[in-house]
Amino acid sequence: MPQHYTKPFYIFFLIMPMGISQGFVTVTLPFMLTQNGFSVALTAGIVAIGISANLWRFVWGPIVDLSLSLHKWYWLGMSASIASLLLICSIPFTIKGETLLSVIVFISQVAATIALLPLNGIMAKQIHENKKGEASGW
């Protein structure tokens, strides 16, 4: 039975939510925080905590590779990413809530990286060999 391959262009749509999540944390959230009285330094600290999730991917990468299916991890990461971004938007932006906000921002970026990790495996298994470079470009 011949294997069915995915078109590389579809990777764009699968990775877009991770880009939206990271874009929200690095562009929209700082604007909203500074408009609500957060200092630039405090805002930068919150964003840095969120982005630091990328540094820790090597910790949860093996867990993703060795446990549930890639599709399940993708949807788990997507669900957690959506939920955490909605949570960020629903809490009031006050200086007193800075710690809670930092934790939620970090969780949102962990969730985004968990959604990103299985995409590499999906590309390795579902993209035709001569189209993998194109898929990586998307």
User: Domain residue spans in the chain?
Assistant: 10-137
**Quick check: 12 and 22 in contact, CB under 8 A?**
no
Query: How far apart, in Å, are the Cα atoms of 83 and each of 47, 66, 76, 87?
Result: 18, 25, 11, 6
Beta bridge partners of 6: 127
- pLDDT tens string 74-96: 999 999 999 999 999 999 999 99
Distance from C-alpha of 21 to C-alpha of 86, rounded to nearest angstrom: 11
Stated pTM of the model: 0.84
Percentage of the chain exceeding pLDDT 70: 97
Query: For the chain, what's the residue count?
Result: 138
H-run or E-run covering 118: helix 98-126
Distance from C-alpha of 89 to C-alpha of 32, rounded to nearest angstrom: 10
Q: How many CA atoms lie within 13 A of 26 on its CB side?
A: 11
- pLDDT tens string 4-38: 777 777 888 888 888 899 999 999 999 999 999 99
Query: How far apart, in Å, are the Cα atoms of 2 and each of 5, 123, 125, 128?
Result: 9, 17, 13, 12
**What is the pLDDT, as a whole number, of residue 42?**
96
